A and B are shown apart, each in its own frame.
Chain A
Amino acid sequence: MIAVPGVDRRIYQHPILDFKWRGRKIKFYFEGKEVIGYEGESIAAALYANGIEIWSLSKKYNRPRGPFCMIGKCSSCFCTVDGRPNVRICIEPVKEGIHVQRQKGLPDIPTTWKTAEEEEILETDILIIGGGPAGLSAALKASEYDVNIILVDEHFKLGGQLKKQTHKFFGSKELFGGLRGFQIAEKLTEEIKKRKNIRVLTQTTAYGLFRGNWVGLASYNKLYRVKAKCIIVATGAHENYLAFPGNDLIGVMGAGGAQTLMNEYGILPGKNVVVVGSGNVGLIVSYQLLQAGANVKCIVEILPHIGGWFVHAAKVRRYGIPIYVKHTVKEAIGKERVEKVIITQVDEKFQPIPGTEKEIECDLLLLAVGLTPDIRFLAQAGCKMKWNSALGGFVALRTRYLETTVPGVFVAGDASKIEEATTAMIEGQIAALSAVIKIKGPIEKAVKEREELLKFLEEYRKSPVLRRTREGLKEVVIE
């Protein structure tokens, strides 16, 4: 079962992507057997490329667990790596000679793993947690104002979810509109490297806020204590799950997880795909699956209309992908992994209509049923939260300048409410300017810049397609 002879899920020809980043071959071990990955791949990506997709067994029922979110936000890829337990192998790079072990239930307590050897105490003006669109934009904007910045991210590469966006961005030319997401990530990351007042810590977790604006950071062999004048939380979001029989089979994945595999790592997540949810994520991922060479059997949508933008729907319809509105997934069926799904029509109350079931063979079932802000740091820090379904769940109350109820703690991007990368980049800049103003006083240029960005954002959100977000925000923006 370990070695899956002849399986190679890597994509070698793609209309948008080249895979020049694939570095030298790297040999490592999974359950004692040799696996070949490429430099630049995560352990999870390399395993999936080789057909190895059972990464752990669940604690209670020994159910196989494989890829789901692929961005370090869920627990389905926990493995023991060189004796270190609970490693999220989706954000851990492959390294020569490492030994990766499946976790069967709870892992053993580590014995061989050394604890932190070093500690560093840092002082900074602004600490930014999260290196996605919001965090990168915040760092760049703040760095123009002669302040010191520390940017921390759990992944081994900066860019967050921009890295897996192969579609061109909407919006306006000034905001990278027309460029593809991964190109924006490259651009921002390159610029970050040039700025001398930004220190980047990758593969590092911000684990909590402590009295007196101290933040604890942890990487594998080093701990940091950071005293920050301001903190910008740009931790993003995680994908939602859906309850139905068979939802934990291997091959049931978050749509974003599949996107990471195919667009960030050039690995085909499946050949025959059913997508649940017709929001922009479901529509865009379906189109990208076609580009990667997969066959998208259908998109099902429980609402009586398509959730995402018409232009995205039109794109997939032209290539013959059906969108079934008033439909949902009833069950996923398969022995070792998903082999087929049953979809069903629903009535006005979203209840399945008996007799309308359809069976569809597939090897991948993607859930594109929304996102939830990653508020863990904000909640721990004591920011006042409020539930708002239009914004994706619990979100931090914040001023229009993006300061939370904890003075000096700001929030930007999806961590503040589910929206999209373009507005995340604007919010990152607004939060940065607010932090600068807090530290240095109302510098005229910063105040003016911030007002312009706020005005643009307000105008942008007047679009009727953003009505829910606009109205949701009214409930959580405080004086």
Chain B
Amino acid sequence: MTDVPGWKKTGIITVEELKKFGLIPPEERLKKGPCVIVECPEEIPCNICVSACPVGAISKEKIYNIPKVDWEKCTGCGNCVLICPGLACFVVDLSHDDYALVTVPHEFLPPKVGEKVILLGRDGRKLGEGEVVRVIERNKTYAITVKVKPELAMEVRAVWKKMK
């Protein structure tokens, strides 16, 4: 079982590991504006993201290959965030000076724009709070865009509504 990667034992993948799969765009690209990060390191038989992308930025040679993203083509529209059945697509935008924008998929009751939500990491750890700046929906999957500290842009991967 030595060949089983760590993320297959924990369900948590690191940014370093994602980089090795070629799934993390270069920082210069993220500084130009929103871009997708597909956290899909396993060769599963699915190509929904490929057909979801309106600009053809995501490709797969075989249905079970790991997705390949053309960072320059990607506009960060968030369509794949809404459609990916694995909820594995995220959009990160580092084009602002004092904050970053992260878009995460959400299939719980949605927060409203302006609402403060709890930010969660890949391991479920609470990473503070962030303000919701955009909410879009398709077939009951929401894409929630939150303002976060720039250093949390690669860590925040879910949000949770605060209890009243």
> A-side interface residues toward B, CB under 8 Å?
13, 15-16, 167-173, 177-180, 183, 290-291, 304-306, 309-321, 323, 325, 459-466
- Residues of chain B contacted by A460 (CB below 8 angstroms): 45, 63-64
Report whether B64 and A177 are in contact in the complex, using a CB–CB cutoff of 8 Å.
Answer: no
| Residue B114 lies at the interface, judged by CB distance under 8 Å to chain A | no
A420 CB, nearest partner CB in chain B, Å: 10
Q: A180-B139, A462-B64 are in contact. Are A310 and B124 (CB under 8 A)?
A: no
Beyond A178-B85, A305-B4, A306-B9, is A291–B45 a contact (Cβ under 8 Å)?
Answer: no
Chain B residues lying within 8 Å of A461, measured Cβ to Cβ, are 45
Which residues, 69 to 93 on B, are CB-close (under 8 Å) to A?
Answer: 83, 85-88
Q: Is the CB of A314 within 8 A of B107?
A: no
Q: Which of A170, A319, A459, A460 is the most central at the interface, judged by chain B CB atoms within 10 Å of its CB?
A: A170
Name the distance in Å between A275's Cβ and chain B's nearest Cβ.
Answer: 13
Q: Which residues of B contact A (CB under 8 A)?
A: 1, 4, 7-13, 39-48, 51-52, 62-64, 83, 85-88, 107-110, 120-125, 139-141, 157-158, 160
Closest CB pairs A-B (n = 8): A320-B124, A311-B86, A313-B11, A463-B64, A168-B85, A170-B46, A318-B158, A317-B11
Residues B108 and A178 in contact, CB atoms below 8 Å apart:
no
Q: How far is the CA of A224 from the CA of B155 in the complex (A)?
A: 61
Minimal Cβ-Cβ distance residue in A for B7: A310
Q: Complex formed: what's the CA distance from A167 to B140 in Å?
A: 10
Q: How many A-B residue pairs have CB under 8 A?
A: 139
B49 to chain A, nearest CB (A): 10
Within the assembled complex, what's the spacing in Å between the Cα atoms of A425 and B8? 29
Provide the residues of chain A in CB contact with B44, threshold 8 Å: 170, 309, 311, 463, 465
CA distance A306 to B10 in the complex (A): 7
Residues on A with beta carbons closer than 8 Å to the beta carbon of B41: 310
Partner of B46, one of A172, A291, A315: A172
The residues of B that contact A463 with a CB separation of less than 8 Å are 43-45, 63-64
Is B86 touching A309 in the complex (CB atoms < 8 A)? Answer: yes
Contact B8 A177 (CB under 8 A): no
Whole-angstrom CA separation of A173 from B160 in the bound complex = 30
| Bound-complex Cα distance A64 to B45 (A) | 43
In whole angstroms, how far apart are the Cα atoms of A448 and B54 in the complex? 31
CB distance from B23 to the nearest CB of A (A): 12
Residue of B nearest to A173 (CB): B51
Contacts of A316 in B (CB 8 A): 11
Closest Cβ neighbor of B38 among chain A residues = A311
User: What residues of A have a CB within 8 angstroms of the CB of B108 in the complex?
Assistant: 15, 290-291
Residue among A13, A179, A315 facing the most chain B CB atoms (10 A cut-off):
A315
Query: What's the minimum C-beta distance from A216 to chain B, rounded to whole angstroms?
Result: 39
Report B-chain residues with C-beta under 8 Å of the C-beta of A311: 39-40, 42, 44, 86-88
Within the assembled complex, what's the spacing in Å between the Cα atoms of A314 and B8? 10
Q: Can you list 13 pairs linking A and B with CB atoms under 8 Å apart? A: A16-B107, A170-B45, A177-B48, A291-B108, A304-B1, A304-B9, A309-B44, A311-B87, A311-B88, A317-B10, A318-B122, A463-B64, A464-B64
Q: Are B120 and A320 in contact (CB under 8 A)?
A: yes
> Do B11 and A306 touch (CB < 8 A)?
yes
- Determine how close the nearest CB of chain B comes to the CB of A26; give it in whole angstroms: 29
Known contacts A16-B140, A311-B87, A319 near B120 by CB under 8 Å: yes
Whether B64 lies near A15 (C-beta < 8 A) is no
